[in-house]
Structure 1
Amino acid sequence: MRLAELSERSGVSTATIKYYLREGLLAPGHQVNATTAEYDEEHLRRLRLVRAMIQVGRLPVATVREVLEHVDDDSLGRTIRLGAALWALPQVPEPDEDDEYVQAAHREADGLLEVLGWANARMLTTVSPSYRSLVVAIAAFRRLGYDWDAQRLVFYAMLMHEAARYDLDFVEAQPSEAEKAESAVISAVLVEPMLQALHRLAQEEESARRYGFG
């Protein structure tokens, strides 16, 4: 398809597509002559992914480019490839390791992983942004005077483990390694907001059931 058709099918303007091409978010088309290029279904799929990351995920172009570089890196094994792509997404700042709340949160998080038997996750605690996010959240709870210990978090962790199984079932159903990595990014960018929305809707529903609307 030509640029105009790619624009029509994707709903993205030709000017924006050209910008994505210049920024390296979209692979160049197959050059027909000096002024014309052809694009295929892979360009269309990638373009839709880029739009979702920018419009729905609110990711800056530089972050999208970094994520896609990992998605397209054939030299990486699947676990590292997926992890690298996800870790390139925006993360919480590094916690202050001298803070007593952070130190306590590390103990709670480590205890949680031990109770769950998540040996692989425990090996990644020094590098995983997800582990860092957990520590930051637990520390914030402790500062507010709430004691969310490992036992209280086990229930939530088990729910998330089931969600992760569904996520990876979806990833494994994709035909190529690049599409598997892409689908993992889609899950992070789009599924996580849906899970958050469902959690809040469930809280609203349960609150109304318990307390009514008065």
Structure 2
Amino acid sequence: MRLAELSERSGVSTATIKYYLREQLLPPGRPVTATRSEYGEEHLRRLRLVRALIQIGRVPVSTAREVVAAVEDDARDQLSRLGTAVQALPHGPEPDEHDPSTDVARRTATELLERLGWRFNLERTDSPRAFQMLVAAIAALHRLGYACDTAHLLRYARQASELAVADLDLVEEYGTPAERVEAAVALTVLYEPVLLSLRRLAEAEESNKRFGRES
């Protein structure tokens, strides 16, 4: 397809597509003449990923480029490509190492993962950024005096395990390894607002069941 058709089918302006091409967020098209290239379904898929990252996830272009590079690195296996791509996504604040609550939180988080049997090498300096985000979140709970021991967190973590199964079942519906990695990254960004919304709706429903008769 020509650039104009790619723009029409993707809903992305030709100017933006050209910008993504310059920024190496899209692979170049197949040259047909000195001034014209052809684009395929892989460009449509990549545009969906880039739009999810930049427009929905508010990911900077430089970070999106890192994610795309990991997706394209077919020298790695699927697990490594996905891990690198997800690591590049924006995460929450890093733990404050000067806060005494951080030590407590890191012990709690480590114990939690051990109880779950989740196998991460958390002693490495490049341990998952999501783990660091978890430590920072638990530290905030601890600092403000809210429940955050392992017993309370286990209920949330077990629900997260079920969500992970649903996530990867969805990803495996895509055909090729490249499509699966692209989908996994895009869905990580796109489904997080879905999960937050559903949690708040579920809490509203549960609150109505428990406390609605009091009004």
Deviation track 1:87-118 (CA, whole Å, cap 9, x = no partner) reads 00012343233421000001111111121122
Give how far 1:77 is off. 2.0
Q: Secondary structure of the equivalent of 2:132?
A: helix
In the aligned structure 1, how far is the partner of 2:63 from the partner of 2:208?
Answer: 40
For the pair 1:66 / 2:77, whether they are aligned, the reply is: no
| One-letter code aligned to 2:211 | Y
TM-score by length of 1: 0.94
Give how far 1:147 is off. 2.9
Aligned to 1:7: 7
For the pair 1:136 / 2:133, whether they are aligned, the reply is: no
Deviation track 1:149-176 (CA, whole Å, cap 9, x = no partner) reads 0111111111110111111122223222
Give how far 1:196 is off. 1.1
Aligned to 1:99: 99
Q: Secondary structure of the equivalent of 1:94?
A: coil
Aligned to 1:146: 146
Q: Secondary structure of the equivalent of 1:169?
A: helix
Aligned to 2:212: 212
| One-letter code aligned to 1:38 | E
Aligned to 1:162: 162
Q: Secondary structure of the equivalent of 1:212?
A: helix
| One-letter code aligned to 1:70 | A
8 Å contact from structure 1 (residues 125, 131) kept in 2: no
TM-score by length of 2: 0.93
For the pair 1:78 / 2:98, whether they are aligned, the reply is: no
| Shift >4 Å, 4+ stretches | none
Give how far 1:125 is off. 5.7
Q: Secondary structure of the equivalent of 1:74?
A: coil
Consecutive unaligned residues of structure 1, counting only runs of 5 or more, are none
Give how far 1:63 is off. 1.1
8 Å contact from structure 2 (residues 29, 38) kept in 1: yes
Give how far 1:124 is off. 4.0
| One-letter code aligned to 1:168 | L
Q: For the aligned residues, what is the CA RMSD? A: 1.5
Consecutive unaligned residues of structure 2, counting only runs of 5 or more, are none
